[in-house]
A and B are shown apart, each in its own frame.
Chain A
Amino acid sequence: MKASKLLAALTALLLVLAACTTGGEDTTTTTAAGGTETTEGGEEPTTTAAGGEETTTTAAETEEPAGESLLETVRARGSLLCGVNDVLPGFGVVNEDGTYSGFDVDLCRAVAAGVLGDSEAVEYVPLVADARFTALQSGEIDVLIRNTTWTSTRDGQEGATFLFTTFYDGQGMMVPASTGFTTLEELADANICVLSGTTTELNLTAVFGARGIAFNPQVFPDNEQLRPAYEAGQCEAWTSDASQLGAWKATIEGEGGEEQLIMEEIFSKEPLGPAVRDGDSAWAQAVEWSIMATVQAWEFGLDSTNVGSYAGDDPNILNFVGADGFDPGLGLDPEFAITIIESVGNYQEMYERNLGPIALVIEGSLNDLWTNGGLMYVPPYR
């Protein structure tokens, strides 16, 4: 009948119009009447393959491919979304009054101070290990500072870009001191507590597999469930980054638990550092130089008490504190270093404030300054 033919033609026309006017997606277009797919409306000059117009208006924090960086977005928003840990003593914990504190938390504040000028303009997003990279990929957070190890897979497949390593760590094993175990071989067939979604799991499998030792992992989503199982003896050993184990050893013994022993053997490299999304150099560099400023200040002997009142004439330090308005073009305020150091302190102050209470000492460790034999070496600010 005439009405139905008319409707069929109308449907076909509408579908063709819909297919054609929504930009140049190449992978998912199907046109009902087989019309030709022309890229109308002009393609944005992006470096990525298929960035149509819709992709940029959806997620709140995705950058416009026409060149606006996350730096501008964060400045416009006025606060930094920082992915952190909320259950790791020393690195990221929630206090009783709801505020966050920890080494990684202080690094978030340093970034906020550098980029926004206000170290308190941070919204902390607590994340479990499994969800770290999906949160970063989806734009839920601007930067991930959550004791995260830099690996090739994370740089590649996970779409992250790792920045300056803020803490050089390694994986260790902790057992109750009463067991007397000192080597990994003594843990054959044992239950070993490990967190899900961490490099720890892969390292454990790799190391034990290489030595031909069988073991049984007990995989927990977070430390709140892991710790009771360990203390109840459901696992005989707990493996994690040595700094985390130090934190937990101090916590368990401090709360009156059994004495713990961390084995001497460190069996992996764990460079912990902040991570941002791929493809945004301006933002990555702004974050990285804000963090490196804390180490540079330490090297110069500047801390929160004297950074604002430097009166000498070392040109390197003068550049660093922005004394003559020196601006290397990173998009940061010339006096960003003063803002950061005054509100958060330099690297040594942050370290000793947060990690001193859990028995981590900076002198003699890998995290000491390069001039003292450690690995903290930042590029010159000039």
Chain B
Amino acid sequence: MTSPPPPASRVPPWRNIRFLRILGQVLAVVLAFLVLRWLAGNLTGNLDRLNMGLDFGFLSRPTQFQIPYRPSFDPRSPVTSMVLVGVLNTFLAGFFGILIALALGLVVGVSRLSANWLVAKLATVYVEFFRNIPPLVIIIFFAAALFTYGPFPNLREAILVGLPGSDSKLLILSNDQWGIPGFTGGRNWVAFAVILGVGFVLAVVVWAWRTSVNDRTGKPHHRLAWFLGVLTGIAIIGYLALGGPFSMSWPAQSENRRLIVGGFAMNWGFMSLTAALGLYTASHVGEIVRGSILAVPRGQNEASSALALSGFQRYRFVVLPQALRIAIPPIINQCLNLVKNTSLGTAVAYAEITALTQTSIGNGRPALQSIVVMMVVYLAFSLTISLLLNVVNRRLQLVTR
């Protein structure tokens, strides 16, 4: 045994480790406070010198400019409406971009590990090409190649792909907008949306029930079939009961052939931005997926071969469930990057929040406050996405003893 420690004597403060550490932290806090105060004073002093204020009153004043591809936007509505339109546009680009990125990324990641030489090489070329080019360049390339210098004519002479057997058009293709079929809400579509929501919740409950039946009795759960069955059943009942709350609407050209009426119209900025970002992020997601598949212990592969599982079954039941658990945090990161990269839409005249903020600053709105609003928007997006995906992450985490 060691000898008892020497009696604690009074160590002078300049040699007392605990004191010095706390002093260091105190000094750091004071220093940070001083720097922030100096910056804030600088800001307010300069703003006062220029007679500019730091208030957010500009949010309630009229926007005074028209937003591209939103003919229903009234330029006299307040700036907050403009911000909401920007948020909506950013959301659309981000949502569809993430869908493309995740779906394509999964395929690319798995393909790169394929035993088929051609498939593996194609996936490698795809990843190395898209990963190493800045996203802005890819966006401008898509816009230029597909639309500005591309094969499609002007909207007034657009290519119309007809629906066989009727007068309606299936697709309208031009270098400005594309029209695709869509839905229009008839009467009661709100009620239908509510019924659909209720049906979805019910279907999730059924899913959980079938899973617990499987856990208890071991019978095959067929939970996906049950889920879809319940959802579809409720949707059909609701549709019939409400007398057709929505119907297909086909795209058509307007009288002066400058607008697409009916269906969904996608403008060229949205399409280039979403496609380019989807492909760019998919290359990153593919690499993440590949890395996480390779991180699954080798023994799992060998064990599944021993159990005579086919290649597909091995991926579907053994490898991917484990791999995707590891992959989710970096994928969350890529999703956030994609949403932030939508700010590059300014280069293709897409009116997402950054473009609208820059336009409004250039037209006399206070720069600092507008950028603060824009930052809040992006912060909200990022926090929401990471919150949602972290819920998924936590549910999928392996519980170890």
* A residues in contact (CB < 8 Å) with B: 3-4, 7, 10-11, 14-15, 18-19, 22-23, 25, 27-29, 48-52, 54-56, 58-59, 62, 65, 129-134, 137-138, 151, 153-154, 156-159, 188-191, 196-199, 201-202, 204-206, 208-209, 214-221, 225, 228-229, 232-234, 236, 277-279
Contact = CB atoms under 8 A, between A and B. Distances in A.
A83 to B, nearest CB: 14
Contacts of A137: 46, 50, 52, 367
Nearest to B41: A25
Given A55-B45, A189-B256, A202-B363, A3 B16 contact: yes
- Which 3 residue pairs are nearest across A and B when measured between Cβ atoms? A197-B362, A55-B45, A159-B50
14 contacts: A3-B13, A10-B23, A25-B37, A25-B41, A50-B45, A132-B362, A137-B52, A157-B52, A201-B65, A202-B363, A205-B75, A209-B75, A232-B148, A234-B176
Interface string B279-302: 000000000000000000000000
Contacts of A50: 41, 44-45, 48
Nearest to B359: A196
B64 A202 contact: yes
Interface string B1-40: 0000000000001001011001100110110011001101
Nearest to B154: A233
A201 B282 CA distance: 36
B68 A216 contact: yes
Contacts of A278: 49-51
A90 to B, nearest CB: 22
A48 B49 contact: yes
A234 B175 contact: yes
Interface stretch (B114-122, B333-341, B344-352): B344-352
B195 to A, nearest CB: 36
Contacts, number: 195
B149 interface: yes
Of B69, B155, B364, B365, the most chain A CB neighbours within 10 A belong to B364
A19 B36 CA distance: 11
A237 to B, nearest CB: 11
Given A202-B65, A234-B147, 11 more contacts: A25-B40, A27-B40, A28-B40, A28-B44, A51-B45, A51-B49, A188-B258, A197-B358, A219-B355, A232-B175, A234-B154
Contact of A219 (B38, B42, B349, B367): B349
B51 A159 contact: yes
A363 to B, nearest CB: 34
Contact of B30 (A11, A157, A225, A232): A11
Given A48-B45, A189-B258, A228-B149, A3 B19 contact: yes
Contacts of A229: 148, 349
Contacts of A10: 23, 26
A3 B12 CA distance: 11
A225 B347 contact: yes
Contact of B48 (A4, A49, A209): A49
A241 to B, nearest CB: 15
B358 to A, nearest CB: 5
A332 B98 CA distance: 61
A199 B69 CA distance: 20
Of B49, B52, B153, the most chain A CB neighbours within 10 A belong to B49
Contacts of B22: 3-4, 7
Interface residues of B, number: 62
What is the interface of chain B mostly: helix, strand, loop, or mixed? helix
B123 to A, nearest CB: 33
B107 interface: no
Interface of B: 13, 16, 18-19, 22-23, 26-27, 29-30, 33-34, 37-38, 40-42, 44-46, 48-52, 64-69, 71, 75, 144, 147-149, 153-155, 175-176, 254, 256, 258-259, 268, 346-349, 351, 355, 358-359, 361-367
A158 B19 contact: no
Contacts of B147: 232, 234
Contact of B41 (A55, A138, A157): A55
A216 B69 contact: yes
B9 to A, nearest CB: 14
Contacts of A151: 364
B48 A51 contact: yes
Nearest to A63: B49
Contacts of A48: 45, 48-49
Contacts of B349: 218-220, 225, 229
Nearest to A154: B364
A157 B54 CA distance: 11
B363 A197 contact: yes
A221 to B, nearest CB: 5
Nearest to A231: B148
A197 B359 contact: yes
B371 to A, nearest CB: 10
Contact of B66 (A3, A55, A56, A204): A204
A48 B45 CA distance: 8
A73 to B, nearest CB: 14
A25 B23 CA distance: 27
Contacts of B347: 221, 225
Contacts of B258: 188-191, 216, 236
Nearest to A279: B49
Nearest to A32: B33
Contacts of B154: 233-234, 236
A56 B176 CA distance: 50
Contact of B364 (A3, A29, A55, A157): A157
Contacts of B18: 3
A215 B37 CA distance: 48
Nearest to A156: B51
A233 B156 CA distance: 10
Of B46, B48, B256, the most chain A CB neighbours within 10 A belong to B46
A52 B41 contact: yes
Contact of B19 (A7, A54, A204, A215): A7
Contacts of A23: 41
A27 B44 contact: yes
A52 B47 CA distance: 12
Contacts of B254: 189
A14 to B, nearest CB: 5
Given A215-B66, A221-B358, A18 B37 contact: yes
Nearest to B368: A134
B148 A228 contact: yes
Contacts of A216: 66, 68-69, 71, 258
Nearest to A152: B364
Contacts of A198: 362-363
Contact of A157 (B19, B27, B67, B366): B366
Given A130-B359, A229-B349, A59 B26 contact: no
